[in-house]
Amino acid sequence: MEKNQFSNRLTGWYDTHKRDLPWRHTTNPYPIWLSEVILQQTRVDQGLEYYKKFLNAYPTVSDLAQADEQEVLRLWQGLGYYSRARNLHKTAQIIEKNYNSIFPDSYSELLKLKGVGSYTAGAIASFAYNERVPIVDGNVFRVLSRIFGVFTDIASSPAQKEFREIAQEILPDKDPATHNQAIMEFGALQCTPKNPDCETCPFQEQCYAFAHGKQGELPVKKKKVKVRDRYFNYLVLEQNGKLLMQKREKKDIWEGLYDFPLIETKTPLEGLESLMAHDDFPKELIKNHLAFKDVSKTYKHILSHQRIWATFWTISFEGNWESAGDFLSKKESEQVPKPILIDNFLGELN
């Protein structure tokens, strides 16, 4: 099929099926950028909420640049991958400082921004400036691999180049932005990972996967992510109705967020005795007056490469302990940015 014919069919489908989303009504690069970064983390319905929250709190890129990092993390809470929120904030500061708060207006210049990769640069260049540049996200990988019968492993390094070339070839000269929106939407709604709606598909006749019954095998993604189990034993120290919370400073997950003093173990702990006997249990605590009040159920929290198994040991504590944390009231604890795991625990506590 010739490229304009392909694109006309695609955008014809888009006209009828597209969802009405706020970032599709603007060519302002700032909200487009926000939406793309947020949507890399989550589904559209949940992303919409975060998009509105961010735009409400920070209507311009300068507002975001001048925001307190803690506040940005707090707003991001629940989306995971907190390094993305920190990068978002840092990139806003670079745009404010080095670009006078005006986004670079081409794909190649956008790519020079720290924290902006080819996908995001492509999305901004296409949707804000209508530059003729392809965008390849997970949806596009799926659509192209199925229609054109491409069996290259999409997690492999040659895949980006190969799929970008195909995406570039079918990109029309006129209105490439709508074409890019359309192919991503087509992957999200019609050519879905499971049960694609082939019966009503406008590409049924051309589609390799349909003709060969290979929808379940395409796209090929071989790399298996190795998942590591981690066991978190949280000491929830309670004093006068306040809880001791600490800011995570280590280069690890959740950097900059708040949780409780933590003892991490390689296997689950058997009980209170093994917790207190653990080398990392703070010996200063034992000298003080403390009373164990409760132990929680085990919370399972899944991240992309890790499975966290968390247990919370609530301890009433009357003495002093020189730790890096502060005792926070319920209201104060609500205001600090926290991993969703901690938020869930606190929610069940109250």
Q: Using CB under 6 A, list all residues that contact ligand SF4.
A: 146-147, 190-191, 196-198, 201, 203-204, 207, 209-210, 215
Give Rg (Cα) of the chain: 24
Q: Which is nearer to ligand SF4, 57 or 198 (CB)?
A: 198
- Quote the tokens at residue 287: 């000298």
Q: Which of 36, 96, 131, 238 is catalytic?
A: 36
- Quote the tokens at residue 152: 């290259």
Phi first, then psi, for residue 289 (nearest 5°) are -80, 115
For residue 201, CA distances in Å to 86, 135, 198, 350 come to: 40, 22, 5, 50
- Please report how close the Cβ of residue 205 comes to ligand SF4 at its closest, in angstroms: 9
Q: Which residues, at least 6 apart from 135, have a Cβ–Cβ distance to it below 8 Å?
A: 119, 122, 123, 126, 167, 180, 184
Scanning the structure block, which residue is given the tokens 């940015």? 337
- Please report how close the Cβ of residue 5 comes to ligand SF4 at its closest, in angstroms: 15
Phi first, then psi, for residue 204 (nearest 5°) are -50, -45
Instruction: Identify whether the C-beta of residue 175 lies closer than 8 Å to the C-beta of residue 163.
Output: no
For residue 293, CA distances in Å to 9, 123, 235, 334 come to: 65, 52, 11, 22
- Please report how close the Cβ of residue 165 comes to ligand SF4 at its closest, in angstroms: 19
Q: Which is nearer to ligand SF4, 23 or 186 (CB)?
A: 186
What letter represents residue 308's amino acid? I
- Please report how close the Cβ of residue 24 comes to ligand SF4 at its closest, in angstroms: 22
Phi first, then psi, for residue 223 (nearest 5°) are -65, 120
Q: Which is nearer to ligand SF4, 171 or 201 (CB)?
A: 201
The DSSP 8-state label assigned to residue 220 in this structure reads -
- Please report how close the Cβ of residue 10 comes to ligand SF4 at its closest, in angstroms: 10
**Catalytic residue check, 109:** no
Q: Which is nearer to ligand SF4, 132 or 142 (CB)?
A: 142
Q: Which is nearer to ligand SF4, 209 or 235 (CB)?
A: 209
* Catalytic center residues: 36
